[in-house]
């Protein structure tokens, strides 16, 4: 039984992190390239929805980025919900309105959480045919909407995610590892979308959706971007990403900051797992990608623990399992060693990757228990920015 548990858990981890991405790459190579989406004859009105909390440091660059886009100004508006901001966020938005920029500003008192803010914005009158969801620290390429809109107007496409690229990286922290991870996720999600129209989760940093498909969000949900994507897929529409639609963000260099962010994301993952478990049956492209890309990874800490404990029991017999037990133990110790060396400002590339992997899975474990404790609302604390560009 212990041997069965070990190989089953190890096999699932290898499948999700190695085999599944390789299979996607192979199938994508076999697939004939699709014809590019034709540009619209007329461009639709786009309402950019953004929840903001104490974003005065990044907001000026955000406003410049939005209104520098190559898109008809009369078809573009920014709709911001300030979730009890206590800095200069509200004043900057009022200045933008006074300057004649197409900005709508809604002040919400107290901390309501991102989901509640977005619900308030989606209920406003006269929103555009297309909603563009974004975060305050994310900057846009000037051709962003010209890349997103044609894809969104393809038949059955309901949501299109932009590619998230990164500004200056702090090589002293974990920003490099996080950038590598997100770049890999960009590729995997794009391939899922191109093969089956079943991209597993738009990047909340920047995605466009048909207005009529944007749902009312559960007020306590932390990962509303994944919830929205699954809602679109459940309605029978496709979820895809567009590589030529580029957005840019900085990344936290601090392991502590990133760990807190990962715990929040992980808690939201388990909310979504329970909310959307029904899509797993009957089998479909959506259920396949959901299981392969997300659910197995979300079970990662439990699978790693099962591997370690099972090999520990089998190690009493010596041989292969003794070696596997020591190897896993060394990897865990390597993660701890990476933490210790980081405090001394010493970074070793291999240890950084090991540390990142185990930290990500520890965050999943902590997030699971936070989910069990219950989430009251989706209020958030913006992560400290690293780049001087935002």
Assess if residue 84 is contained within a domain: yes
Cβ 178 vs Cβ 165: under 8 Å: no
Q: Cα(241)–Cα(243) distance, rounded to whole angstroms?
A: 7
The H-assigned helical ranges of the chain are 2-14, 20-30, 59-67, 89-98, 114-122, 144-152, 175-196, 224-234, 255-275, 285-289, 296-298, 300-314, 320-343, 349-373
- Categorize the per-residue pLDDT at 386 as very low, low, confident or very high, splitting at 50, 70 and 90: very low
Assess if residue 139 is contained within a domain: yes
Q: Cα(211)–Cα(129) distance, rounded to whole angstroms?
A: 5
Give me 314's structure tokens.
């089998």
Assess if residue 200 is contained within a domain: yes
Task: Give the residue with greater pLDDT, 356 vs 190.
Answer: 190
For the cut 90, the answer to whether the pLDDT of residue 139 exceeds it is: yes
Residue 58: domain span: 46-254
**Residue 101 backbone class (left: φ over 0; alpha: ψ -120 to 50; beta: rest):** beta
Give the pLDDT of residue 35: 78
Task: Give the residue with greater pLDDT, 183 vs 284.
Answer: 284
Give the pLDDT of residue 317: 86
Assess if residue 340 is contained within a domain: no
Determine whether 29 is exposed, middle or buried from the number of CB atoms within 10 Å of its CB (0-12, 13-18, 19+).
Answer: exposed
Alpha-carbon separation of residue 167 from 69, 141, 177, 251, 253 (angstroms): 18, 12, 14, 8, 12
User: How many CA atoms are closer than 13 Å to the CA of 63, on its beta-carbon side?
Assistant: 22
Q: Cα(327)–Cα(347) distance, rounded to whole angstroms?
A: 21
Q: C-alpha angle 6/187/148, rounded to 5°?
A: 140
Sign of the CA dihedral running 256, 258, 262, 265: positive
Give the pLDDT of residue 326: 94
**Rounded mean pLDDT of the chain?**
91
Q: Write the DSSP string, 211-251.
A: GGGPPPPPTT-S-HHHHHHHHHHHTT-EEEEEEEEEEEE--
Assess if residue 14 is contained within a domain: no
Assess if residue 103 is contained within a domain: yes
Read off the pLDDT of residues 15-73 as tens digits, 9 standing for 90 and up.
999 999 999 999 999 987 777 888 887 899 999 999 999 999 999 999 999 999 999 99
Give the pLDDT of residue 256: 76
Q: Cα(212)–Cα(359) distance, rounded to whole angstroms?
A: 39
Percent residues over pLDDT 90 in the chain: 75
For the cut 80, the answer to whether the pLDDT of residue 344 exceeds it is: no
- Number of separate domains in the chain: 1
For the cut 90, the answer to whether the pLDDT of residue 133 exceeds it is: yes
Q: Cα(390)–Cα(382) distance, rounded to whole angstroms?
A: 13
Percent residues over pLDDT 70 in the chain: 91
CATH number assigned to the domain comprising residue 90:
3.90.550.10
Assess if residue 159 is contained within a domain: yes
Pairing between β-strand 103-108 and β-strand 76-83 as defined by DSSP bridges: parallel
Assess if residue 52 is contained within a domain: yes
């Amino acid at each position: 039984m212990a041997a069965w548990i070990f190989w089953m858990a190890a096999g699932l981890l290898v499948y999700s992190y190695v085999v599944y991405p390789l299979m996607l790459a192979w199938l994508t190579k076999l697939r004939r390239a699709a014809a590019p989406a034709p540009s619209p004859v007329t461009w639709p009105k786009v309402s950019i929805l953004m929840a903001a909390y104490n974003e005065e440091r990044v907001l000026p660059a955000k406003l410049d980025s939005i209104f520098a886009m190559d898109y008809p100004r009369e078809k573009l508006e920014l709709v911001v919900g300030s979730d009890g901001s206590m800095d200069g966020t509200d004043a900057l938005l009022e200045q933008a309105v006074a300057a004649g920029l197409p900005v709508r500003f809604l002040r919400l008192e107290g901390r309501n959480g991102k989901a509640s803010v977005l619900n308030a914005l989606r209920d406003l009158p006269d929103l555009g045919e297309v909603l563009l969801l974004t975060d305050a620290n994310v900057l846009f390429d000037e051709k962003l909407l010209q890349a997103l809109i044609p894809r969104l107007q393809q038949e059955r496409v309901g949501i299109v995610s932009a590619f998230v690229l990164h500004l200056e990286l702090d090589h002293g922290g974990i920003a490099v590892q996080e950038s590598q991870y997100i770049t890999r996720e960009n590729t995997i999600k794009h391939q899922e979308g191109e093969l089956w129209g079943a991209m597993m989760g738009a990047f909340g940093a920047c995605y466009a959706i048909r207005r009529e498909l944007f749902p009312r969000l559960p007020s306590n949900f932390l990962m509303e971007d994944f919830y929205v994507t699954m809602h679109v897929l459940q309605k029978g529409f496709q979820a895809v990403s567009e590589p030529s639609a580029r957005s840019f963000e900085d990344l936290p260099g601090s392991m502590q900051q990133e760990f807190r962010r990962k715990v929040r994301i992980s808690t939201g993952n388990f909310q979504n797992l329970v909310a959307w478990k029904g899509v797993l049956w009957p089998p479909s492209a959506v259920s396949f990608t959901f299981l392969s890309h997300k659910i197995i990874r979300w079970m990662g800490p439990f699978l790693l623990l099962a591997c370690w404990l099972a090999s520990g029991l089998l190690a009493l017999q010596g041989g292969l399992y003794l070696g596997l037990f020591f190897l896993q133990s060394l990897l865990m110790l390597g993660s701890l060693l990476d933490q210790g060396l980081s405090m001394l400002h010493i970074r070793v590339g291999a240890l950084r990757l090991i540390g990142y992997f185990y930290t990500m899975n520890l965050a999943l474990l902590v997030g699971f228990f936070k989910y069990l404790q219950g989430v009251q609302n989706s209020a958030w604390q913006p992560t400290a920015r690293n780049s001087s560009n935002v």
